[in-house]
């Protein structure tokens, strides 16, 4: 009894800590939109690397914060389920002052005080696996919430990387636009000088001026694109203002191009797949719970009551073991099991669908990456040719052997080639970060694991080719093993057996 009394201050202290934490959450708005000045990058001098911004968003992005609270709620739900086998103790104390009138012709306001008090203990002893099934389901739900948080982190990191590359792309295209406008300005000034000495026509001067003004317009558009890209980066970082971020290192490792290796990595790292797999596990545990719900529950109740107007009080106790069983439910519990089986099949189908879609997306992304690499190579070659052509045409124009139109065409070709190189370079980087998001690659430490999957897949492929090259059996034939017979789906058979067992038990 003394040990039980010692638990009371401990429980009260725990309750007080919970209340203090709740009050702190009410008073502080930590989940509000942060200002740029509140981030750790505002006070820093110099450039900020892309991965630093991604790491910050991985912790502070609103979607990640929301997913993290889903994990907290899943943890609380798990603790609540585990508490089912812990006795529940209730207590009450009351003082009642009441009159004792019995004759309507002889009433008075005087009364008597009475103390009443009681303790009750309710203890679930055994429920034939129902609580264990609920625990497994809660564990799977917690795993799903954890993977969903990882998916939110993955999305936040991808959003920052994509925004950084978009900003870098816009900045480089703006640089190209500035260089182009400067070139057109120089061309306009040279044309005016040639016109002053009678070596150019007034049309050439007018055309050079129009070309320069068009180049300035393109420069303005490129500058606006930079500001828009900065706003997109601010959104990815969870800010509601346009921070003046000087981007530093935006390097990103080259992702493997082997689809099988990427899918092998995604099988254990893609958070979306892992969340759906955990949801399927939760649905499977729910089937167990509905079956266990057919069986009775064994519990124990102990009560102690005391009352009186003075000491000693009159007390009594009662002990009551109980068995509770639903005798007839008009098939409701059978329907509950059938609904649980349907949910399980649906969850497994969603996982299969996501896996198939992931393969399609990874394959498409790797093909896009291969095309982007080729496009970059072609664009670089075209840029070299455009530079050479521009130099030749410019020299010929200066000596009067090339027209203003030829010079303009050469400048347009050079500007277009420079923009094409920038576009192809960042198209390739976009495919790399997309592959990283699809397979669940979020940090540089995982690059080695992707490569190891690629090497393993290559070794296995070589081994399969070696086996297929071996001569067939003496009797002839290709030597290929016959495919195994198709067996009924084991999991489907398991679900059917669960449903049949449950129906037999209830009947």
Looking up residue 322, the CATH number of its domain turns out to be 1.20.1600.10
Q: Is the pLDDT of residue 50 over 60?
A: yes
* H-helix or E-strand spanning residue 320: strand 314-324
Bridge partner residues of 324 (DSSP): 297
Could you report the per-residue pLDDT of 152-186, keeping only the tens digit for each? 999 999 999 999 999 999 999 999 999 888 888 88
Residue 366, phi then psi, degrees to nearest 5: -65, -40
Q: What is the pLDDT of residue 375?
A: 93
Reported as a pLDDT band with limits 50, 70 and 90, residue 475 is very low
Exposure class string for 405-416: b at 16+ Cβ within 10 A, else e: eebbebbbbbbb
Q: What is the pLDDT of residue 184?
A: 84
C-alpha 29: how far from chain center = 23
What mean pLDDT is reported for the chain?
80
- For residues 450 and 258, give the distance between their C-alpha atoms in angstroms, rounded to a whole number: 10
Q: What is the pLDDT of residue 399?
A: 77
Q: What is the pLDDT of residue 480?
A: 33
Q: Is the pLDDT of residue 432 over 50?
A: yes
In this structure, is residue 124 part of a structural domain?
A: yes
- For residues 147 and 462, give the distance between their C-alpha atoms in angstroms, rounded to a whole number: 34
For residue 204, give every residue at least 6 positions away whose Cβ sits within 8 Å of its Cβ, in sequence order, or none: 191, 194, 195, 404
Q: Is the pLDDT of residue 3 over 80?
A: no
Reported as a pLDDT band with limits 50, 70 and 90, residue 471 is very low
Q: Is the pLDDT of residue 354 over 90?
A: yes
In this structure, is residue 100 part of a structural domain?
A: no
In this structure, is residue 68 part of a structural domain?
A: no
Dig out the tokens for 421 from the structure: 């190189």
Could you report the per-residue pLDDT of 433-463, keeping only the tens digit for each? 999 999 988 654 444 444 444 444 444 444 4
Q: Is residue 248 exposed (0-12), middle (13-18) or buried (19+ Cβ within 10 Å)?
A: middle
Reported as a pLDDT band with limits 50, 70 and 90, residue 410 is confident
Q: What is the pLDDT of residue 395?
A: 87
Q: What is the pLDDT of residue 31?
A: 65
Question: Among 60-74, 239-253, 415-429, which is the least confidently predicted range?
Answer: 239-253
Could you report the per-residue pLDDT of 60-118, keeping only the tens digit for each? 888 998 999 999 999 999 998 888 888 888 999 998 888 877 878 788 888 888 889 89
Residue 324, phi then psi, degrees to nearest 5: -120, 130
In this structure, is residue 16 part of a structural domain?
A: no
Q: Is the peptide bond before 453 cis (omega within 30 degrees of 0)?
A: no
Domain count, the chain: 1
Q: What is the pLDDT of residue 373?
A: 92
What percent of the chain shows pLDDT beyond 70? 83
In terms of pTM, does the model score above 0.75? no
In this structure, is residue 196 part of a structural domain?
A: yes
Exposure class string for 250-271: b at 16+ Cβ within 10 A, else e: bebeebbebbbbbbbbbbebbb
Could you report the per-residue pLDDT of 35-47, keeping only the tens digit for each? 777 788 877 778 8
Q: Between the ranges 3-12, 40-49, 306-315, 425-434, where is the mean pLDDT highest?
A: 425-434
Q: Is the pLDDT of residue 27 over 60?
A: yes
In this structure, is residue 169 part of a structural domain?
A: yes
Quick count: other Cβ atoms within 10 Å of Cβ 286? 24
In this structure, is residue 478 part of a structural domain?
A: no
Q: What is the pLDDT of residue 440?
A: 87
Q: What is the pLDDT of residue 506?
A: 37
Residue ranges making up the domain that contains 190: 75-85+113-465+489-506
Q: Is the pLDDT of residue 402 over 70?
A: yes
Reported as a pLDDT band with limits 50, 70 and 90, residue 250 is confident
Reported as a pLDDT band with limits 50, 70 and 90, residue 390 is confident
* H-helix or E-strand spanning residue 121: strand 111-126
Bridge partner residues of 320 (DSSP): 301
Q: What is the pLDDT of residue 466?
A: 42
Instruction: Kindly tell me the sign of the dihedral angle through the C-alpha atoms of 387, 390, 392, 398.
Output: negative
Calculate mean pLDDT across residues 251-265. Answer: 87
Reported as a pLDDT band with limits 50, 70 and 90, residue 481 is very low
* Inter-residue contact 394 to 410 (CB < 8 Å): yes
Reported as a pLDDT band with limits 50, 70 and 90, residue 469 is very low
In this structure, is residue 62 part of a structural domain?
A: no
Assign residue 408 a region: left if phi > 0, alpha if psi is -120 to 50, beta otherwise?
A: alpha
Q: What is the pLDDT of residue 192?
A: 85
């Amino acid at each position: 009894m003394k040990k039980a009394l010692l638990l009371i201050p401990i429980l009260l202290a725990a309750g007080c800590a919970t209340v203090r934490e709740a009050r702190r959450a009410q008073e502080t708005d930590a989940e509000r939109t942060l200002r740029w000045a509140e981030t750790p990058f505002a006070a820093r001098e110099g450039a900020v690397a892309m991965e630093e911004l991604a790491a910050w968003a991985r912790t502070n992005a609103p979607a990640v914060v929301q997913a993290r609270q889903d994990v907290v709620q899943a943890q609380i739900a798990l603790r609540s389920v585990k508490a089912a086998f812990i006795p529940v103790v209730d207590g009450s104390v009351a003082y009642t002052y009441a009159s004792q009138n019995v004759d309507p012709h002889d009433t008075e306001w005087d009364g008597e005080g009475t103390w009443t008090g009681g303790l009750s203990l309710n203890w679930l002893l055994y429920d034939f696996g129902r609580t264990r099934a609920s625990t497994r389901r809660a564990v799977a739900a917690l795993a799903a919430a954890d993977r969903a948080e990882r998916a939110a982190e993955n999305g936040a990191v991808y959003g920052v990387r994509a925004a950084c590359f978009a900003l870098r792309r816009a900045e480089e295209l703006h640089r190209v636009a500035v260089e182009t406008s400067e070139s057109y300005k120089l061309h306009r000034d040279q044309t005016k000088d040639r016109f002053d000495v009678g070596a150019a026509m007034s049309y050439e001067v007018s055309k050079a001026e129009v070309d320069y003004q068009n180049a300035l317009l393109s420069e303005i558009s490129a500058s606006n694109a930079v500001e828009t890209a900065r706003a997109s980066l601010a959104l990815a970082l969870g800010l509601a203002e346009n921070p003046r971020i000087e981007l530093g290192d935006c390097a990103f490792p080259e992702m493997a191009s082997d689809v099988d290796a990427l899918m092998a990595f995604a099988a254990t790292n893609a958070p979306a797949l892992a969340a759906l797999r955990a949801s399927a596990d939760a649905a499977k545990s729910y089937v167990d719970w509905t079956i266990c719900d057919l069986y009775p529950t064994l519990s124990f109740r102990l009560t102690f009551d005391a009352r009186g107007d003075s000491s000693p009080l009159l007390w009594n106790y009662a002990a009551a073991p109980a068995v509770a069983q639903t005798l007839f439910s008009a098939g409701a519990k059978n329907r509950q099991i059938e609904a649980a089986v349907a949910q399980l099949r649906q969850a497994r189908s969603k996982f299969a669908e996501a896996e198939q879609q992931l393969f399609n997306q990874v394959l498409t992304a790797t093909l896009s990456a291969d095309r982007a690499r080729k496009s970059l190579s072609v664009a670089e070659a075209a840029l070299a040719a455009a530079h050479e052509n521009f130099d030749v045409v410019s020299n010929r124009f200066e000596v009067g052997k090339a027209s203003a139109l030829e010079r303009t065409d050469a400048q347009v070709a050079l500007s277009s080639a420079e923009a094409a190189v920038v576009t192809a370079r960042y198209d390739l980087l976009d495919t790399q970060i997309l592959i990283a998001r699809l397979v669940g690659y979020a940090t540089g430490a995982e690059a080695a694991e992707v490569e190891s999957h690629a090497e393993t897949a290559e070794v296995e492929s070589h081994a399969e080719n070696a086996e297929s090259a071996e001569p067939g059996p003496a009797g002839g034939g290709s030597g290929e093993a016959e495919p195994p017979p198709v067996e009924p789906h084991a999991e489907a058979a398991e679900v059917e057996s669960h449903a049949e067992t449950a129906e037999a038990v209830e009947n």
